[in-house]
Amino acid sequence: EGGEKQQRKETATARAVREIRREALDRLRSGEDYVEAGGDNSDVGAEGRLVIHREVDMKSSVMQSNQGDIGGGALIVSGSNNTTAFSGPNSTTTTEQQQQQKGQPIRSGGILVKRDDDSNTTIPTPKWHAPWKLSTVLSSHLGWVRSIAFDPHNTMFATGGNDRVIKIFDLAKACVASQDALKITLTGHISPVRGLAFSERHPYLFSAGEDKLVKCWDLETNQVIRHYHGHLSGVFALKLHPTLDLLVTGGRDAVARVWDMRTKHQVHCLTGHDNTVGALLTKGTDPQIVTGSYDSTIKLWDLAAGKCMTTLTHHKKSVRALAMPSYENTFISGAADSLKKWVGSDGRFVKSFTGHKGVINAMAVNDDGVLLSGADDGSMNFWDYNTGHCFQQSMTVAQPGSLDAENGIFAAEFDLTGTRLITCEADKTIKIWKEDEHASELTHPIDMKNWRKKCIAEAKKRY
């Protein structure tokens, strides 16, 4: 009797599977490119949910349709952790079993895609992030605002621009647009200020400009106390080493220079780029310096030897921005073609973030895994740094009195708490952004359908 009940149960399950399969294929024939079916069928459970995508051409796919001509290959997998692929009305083969047979690790969560090259790609589930909205606009500079830096105590920030001055603001007062938010204006550069950095050895501020000058300011006296001479042209980027008393600058002379900030002596001149060094990263572990150049390459440097460890040539356009999170050893680069994520230790390619059409001038990432990319056309994309999911696209608006074309973003940075974002823009303004506190996963859900389609389409791409 028990055997008969089990047989009837298996027959009902097989019948339910056939119905799900028939329903999905009918919908595919009717013109749909992406079909999900059977997720709520109690007879087959979560393992019976089918996902079909027309766009993937599968010669060795998990399942090829043999019921009529539906055009192209049809990939059918399940979305549960125990991923099941149906190869016929009455037979199932779990990809866990397939992977165990091949000696591959089992990947759970998300959707497992099997490609022609016999590799497996898991579609990750993005983390939900609240959208960001404009909070405050500061109009203080008389030219394009090109650089920004926060002080180590998160109480103030400095900006530099084409008006050749450096302005220091009180962060708390700036967030509420207080009239006395501006603390002081520093003059001394004779060309646009392109790089700024506060030292943890308070109270020092470093600045770099297109006048070939690198300056160290004492913020107690508001005077320049050191100059660093050596660049043969404009200086476009400046970073401080996180653990050593070293200053790194990069410029139009196609080199990055490492300075001892106390003695003003040049420690290394890092040569090898063929064009402007426009972006820099410094970190406490090798490679301790990363440079991005307008020659479309990225170089990882051995600081002790002063030599290049690796050159990354994946980008086809100028690399103008680099960003690195504090919680993992990876970094991301931005150019006009895409954003690319890399392993920080050896420069191994991880993933491309596609979809931002524009020349990426600025990037910033906070500890919550929110990545911002800002472009010269005023477009802003917010990404989940871990998966590459773009959860918000917006455009900054030029302020009254500016040309419509003056909406480019030149620099951006999160404050140390990660809750406030400041962008420096071509309309001479400084904009402060914050998360929408009224947003929730119900009001702003993740578009999983388009995310899956994008992941499947990109699965066959090399870079």
Does residue 459 sit within a domain?
A: no
Using the predicted structure, report yes or no on whether residue 24 has a pLDDT greater than 60: yes
Whether residue 310 is found in the same domain as residue 366: yes
Does residue 84 sit within a domain?
A: yes
- The CATH number for 215's domain is 2.130.10.10
Using the predicted structure, report yes or no on whether residue 27 has a pLDDT greater than 70: no
User: Average pLDDT in the 439-460 region?
Assistant: 89
Tell which of 89, 104, 123 closes a domain.
123
348-368 per-position pLDDT tens digit: 999 999 999 899 999 999 999
Whether residue 138 is found in the same domain as residue 116: no
Residue showing tokens 């060309």: 191
Closest C-alpha to 253, from 272, 276, 230, 236? 276
Q: Is the distance from CB of 214 to CB of 235 less than 8 angstroms?
A: yes
What is the rounded CA–CA span in Å between residue 42 and residue 178?
A: 60
Using the predicted structure, report yes or no on whether residue 60 has a pLDDT greater than 60: no
Q: Which two tokens stand for residue 376?
A: 């010269």
What is the rounded CA–CA span in Å between residue 60 and residue 328?
A: 36
Tell which of 90, 123, 156 closes a domain.
123
Tell which of 93, 123, 153 closes a domain.
123
289-301 per-position pLDDT tens digit: 999 999 999 999 9
Closest C-alpha to 204, from 186, 216, 187? 216
Segments forming the whole domain that contains residue 337 = 132-447
Does residue 170 sit within a domain?
A: yes
155-202 per-position pLDDT tens digit: 999 999 999 999 999 999 999 999 999 999 999 999 999 999 999 987
Whether residue 86 is found in the same domain as residue 47: yes
The total of structural domains in the chain comes to: 2
Does residue 115 sit within a domain?
A: yes
Indicate the range of 5-9, 104-108, 399-403, 435-439 predicted with least confidence.
104-108
